[in-house]
Amino acid sequence: MTTPDPPPASLRLRIDAQALAENWRTLDRLSGTAEAGAAVKADGYGLGIDNVMPTLVRAGARQFFVAHWSEVPDVLAHVPGESIAVLHGVANEREAAFARATGVLPVINSMLQARVWHESGGGACHLMVDSGINRLGVEQQCMGDPAIRQLQVDTLMSHLASADEDTAQNARQLAVFREAAAQLDASRLSLANSAGIALGPDYRFDLTRPGLALYGGIPRGELAGHIRPVVQIEAAVLQVRDLSPGDPVGYNAIWHADKPTRAATISIGYADGILRSWGSGGALQHDGATLPIIGRVSMDMVIVDCTGTVLAEGDFCNLSYALPQASRISGLSQYELLTVLGQRFQRVVEQD
């Protein structure tokens, strides 16, 4: 028996391809003389590699960053291996062999990884120096070690810890990075992420690595007005009911109607990335009306107050996903808002 196609999804995640392309072009322009790459790790920041890569390539992006080797095959379907950098580097012979077979360049993060890469045959790679985030990267004092100096480094990079803030740490990291760069013969230098681009020309060097801002995030105020929202969420109404004063709503009855209320159950919940933190102050929209979330967010559903609106089962409501505003409402970071999005959405790429 042939299984028929499933019915249309009750969850839609609309991706504005024109906004995504324009965001990359904007960040490339703001990068000045530096080239802008694109961070596409975490499945294109939750939007889907196959949904974002064609747009970014057409816009002009030529260097792409992922975190895990498991992310490489999907990106390879769109660009050659030498265009891809794996930020976690090579921890063992198998990862090094995969890098060589695909042409993907690892980002060397430690003395151990440098040895693994040398023992596998050496060749072109990237190198991460830790300039103060104390996460991944070779310590600055190791830059003169023969194992590091023998690397064929395409791009020397580091990562800013607090570029979204005005803090002295930014200048300290910049100084450490410059000192490291003076000790190594690298083809390119790269320090700035999305927020780092906005810190000014001193931080941009040869290659910038925007991520969040590509997808509509605004990590610094200087980017406001330049970056366009990319994501819109739509969810279907499952049921509409009338509540009487005193009626409870949702798990643990944390909300009770204090007057006659019209309530709608919507097909979206924390399994889709709309976490319980949305339940206080969160709202959906329909035909210009605001529908406050009432009660607890469930795994698959939220309940909204739709009193005074014409809302019927099967209608779709919007959840505003302008990331700075959504972050203030939910308490989640703009990064989390994108990467927690679940797999039940029909992801729809809209070209214009």
Calpha distance 318→340 (Å, rounded): 18
Average pLDDT for residues 103-113, to the nearest whole number? 98
Among the candidates 161, 185, 217, a domain finishes at 217
Q: Residue 143 is part of which domain span?
A: 17-217
DSSP character at residue 330: H
Catalytic residues: 41, 251
- Give the chain's domain count: 2
**Are 154 and 53 in the same domain?**
yes
Q: What region, left, alpha or beta, does residue 60 occupy, with left being phi > 0 and alpha being psi -120 to 50 degrees? A: left
Interacting residues of 252 by C-beta distance below 8 A, sequence separation 6+: 296
Q: Residue 324 has which token pair?
A: 């700075």
Q: Residue 141 has which token pair?
A: 């004092």
Among the candidates 217, 250, 281, a domain finishes at 217
**Are 158 and 243 in the same domain?**
no
**Are 61 and 162 in the same domain?**
yes
pLDDT of residue 345: 97
**Are 306 and 181 in the same domain?**
no
Could you tell me where the DSSP H helices lie in 256-351?
A: 323-330, 334-339
**Are 266 and 130 in the same domain?**
no
User: Tens of pLDDT along 266-298?
Assistant: 999 999 999 999 998 999 999 999 999 999 999
Q: pTM of the entire structure? A: 0.96
pLDDT of residue 113: 98
**Does some domain include residue 9?**
no
Give the mean pLDDT of the chain. 97
User: Tens of pLDDT along 205-249?
Assistant: 999 999 999 999 999 999 999 999 999 999 999 999 999 999 999
**Are 201 and 246 in the same domain?**
no
67, 87 in Cβ contact below 8 A? Answer: yes
pLDDT of residue 1: 79
SS3 342: coil
**Does some domain include residue 100?**
yes
**18-51 as b/e, with b when 16 or more CB fall inside 10 Å?**
ebbbbbbebbbebbeebbbbbbbbbbbbbbbbeb
**Are 210 and 236 in the same domain?**
no
**Does some domain include residue 113?**
yes
**Does some domain include residue 278?**
yes
**Does some domain include residue 1?**
no
CATH number of the domain to which 325 belongs: 2.40.37.10
SS3 249: strand
**Are 24 and 55 in the same domain?**
yes
pLDDT of residue 42: 98
pLDDT of residue 101: 96
pLDDT of residue 217: 98
**Does some domain include residue 116?**
yes
Average pLDDT for residues 139-143, to the nearest whole number? 93
Average pLDDT for residues 120-144, to the nearest whole number? 96
User: Tens of pLDDT along 240-265?
Assistant: 999 999 999 999 999 999 999 999 99
| Neighbour tally for 110: CB within 10 Å | 18
**Are 265 and 147 in the same domain?**
no
For Cα atoms 65, 70, 72, give the angle at the middle one, nearest 5 degrees.
Answer: 45
Q: Is 314 exposed, middle or buried (0-12, 13-18, 19+ CB in 10 A)?
A: exposed
**Are 63 and 148 in the same domain?**
yes
pLDDT of residue 280: 86
CATH number of the domain to which 204 belongs: 3.20.20.10
In what helix (H) or strand (E) does residue 29 lie, and over which residues does it extend? helix 17-30
**Are 132 and 193 in the same domain?**
yes
**Does some domain include residue 36?**
yes
297, 254 in Cβ contact below 8 A? Answer: no
DSSP notation for 25-50: HHHHHHTTTSEE-EE-HHHHHTT-HH
Decide if pLDDT at 7 tops 90.
yes
In what helix (H) or strand (E) does residue 189 lie, and over which residues does it extend? strand 188-190
User: For the chain, first and last CA: distance in Å?
Assistant: 39
Average pLDDT for residues 13-28, to the nearest whole number? 98
Average pLDDT for residues 305-325, to the nearest whole number? 97
**Angle (deg, nearest 10), helices 49-59 and 17-30:** 50
pLDDT of residue 178: 97
**Are 54 and 92 in the same domain?**
yes
Average pLDDT for residues 312-319, to the nearest whole number? 97
pLDDT of residue 212: 98
| Neighbour tally for 252: CB within 10 Å | 8
Q: Is 198 exposed, middle or buried (0-12, 13-18, 19+ CB in 10 A)?
A: buried
Confidence class for position 204, pLDDT limits 50, 70, 90: very high
Decide if pLDDT at 134 tops 90.
yes
Decide if pLDDT at 160 tops 80.
yes
**Does some domain include residue 12?**
no
Among the candidates 170, 191, 217, a domain finishes at 217
SS3 272: helix
Decide if pLDDT at 158 tops 90.
yes
